[in-house]
């Protein structure tokens, strides 16, 4: 699973926050083939003056995914489409108010615990 930083407007209910996280997670799993149990999300709540998306008003979300390189352009396009569909359905964020960026890195750039780069552990 990628590390997903999600920024939403402040003052949202726990149910709204859960719906955002679940919508993003479901889209990642469906379109990019990540395992069901890999969920790494940081959800930030920001005042509207700190979450600026051009001239768009109302509910909005910006997200940045950091993940290992290798996903196809087609899977990324499918993710973009699916995540805005999911967010529109629940919790009701208009597709035009969703901004997504993706950064890719390499196996050595990840350590999930114990100070070890789990993707490149030497098998000796």
48, β-bridge pairs: none
Q: Contact 20/61 with Cβ under 8 angstroms?
A: yes
Range of the domain at 67: 3-120
58-95 pLDDT, tens per residue? 999 999 999 999 999 999 999 999 999 999 999 999 99
- 60-71 in b/e form (b: 16+ CB < 10 A) is bbbbbbbbeeeb
Rounded CA separation 79/23 (Å): 11
Number of domains in the chain: 1
* pLDDT exceeds cutoff 60 at 124: no
The better pLDDT of the pair 124, 12 is held by 12
CATH of the domain at 73: 3.30.429.10
**Section 81-110 average pLDDT:** 97
Distance, in Å, from the CA atom of 18 to the CA atom of 22, rounded to the nearest integer, reads 6
Q: What is the pLDDT of residue 123?
A: 52
User: Would the pTM count as exceeding 0.85?
Assistant: yes
SS in 3 state form for 3-26? EEEEEEECCCCHHHHHHHHHHHHH
Q: What is the pLDDT of residue 96?
A: 97
Q: Give me the residue label for tokens 């799993």.
A: 29
Q: Predicted confidence band at 1 (pLDDT cuts at 50, 70, 90)? A: confident
pLDDT of residue 121: 79
């Amino acid at each position: 699973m990628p590390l997903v930083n999600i920024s939403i407007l402040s003052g949202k209910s726990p149910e709204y926050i859960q719906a955002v996280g679940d919508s993003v997670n479901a889209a990642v799993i469906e379109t990019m083939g990540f395992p069901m149990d890999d969920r790494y999300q940081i959800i930030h709540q920001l005042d509207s003056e700190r979450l600026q998306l051009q001239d768009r008003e109302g509910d909005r979300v910006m997200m940045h995914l950091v993940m290992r390189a290798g996903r196809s352009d087609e899977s990324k396009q499918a993710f973009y489409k699916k995540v805005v569909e999911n967010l529109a359905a629940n919790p009701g964020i208009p597709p035009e108010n969703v901004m997504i960026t993706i950064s890719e890195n390499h196996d050595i750039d990840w350590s999930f615990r114990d100070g070890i780069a789990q993707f490149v552990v030497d098998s000796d």
